[in-house]
Amino acid sequence: MSSGLPQPLLPAAEEAVAVIAGARGSGWAQRGSGPAGYQGNLSDEDLDKLNKQRQAFFEGTRELRKNLHQKRLELRSELAKKDPDAKKAAGLQGEISDLSGRMDPKAG
């Protein structure tokens, strides 16, 4: 079955949906839809605290995630060309690495 999208655009479309939804696995913080054992050992108070921390992370990284997503789309677009510019692709990959590195400290 075909999605109707050219193959190189399919991952970008999936990622766009994830960004619009707020994050991959947006149901993670909801009771019953998270990973196995997620709610089993946590009190309601602990769940609320965890959800507030999660929300603060997403709010604090919104612009960073948006920029990261844009650079990934630019890189995919460059690499999908018949004759991609290796220097431009390397530059975009460097920007992606920099943005990803700036997300790491915010996760801790």
Give pLDDT tens digits for 50-89: 899 999 989 999 999 999 999 999 999 999 999 999 999 9
Report whether 11 contacts 24 (CB < 8 A). no
- List all residues 6 or more positions away from 28 whose beta carbon is below 8 Å from its beta carbon: 34, 35, 38, 54
Q: Can you give the pLDDT at residue 79?
A: 95
Cα–Cα distance for residue pair 51/108, rounded to 1 Å: 15
The pTM score is 0.57
Mean pLDDT of 25-37: 49
Mean pLDDT of the chain, nearest integer: 76
Q: Can you give the pLDDT at residue 74?
A: 96
Q: How confident is the model at residue 13 (pLDDT cuts 50, 70, 90)?
A: low
Q: How confident is the model at residue 37 (pLDDT cuts 50, 70, 90)?
A: low
% of the chain at pLDDT higher than 70: 60
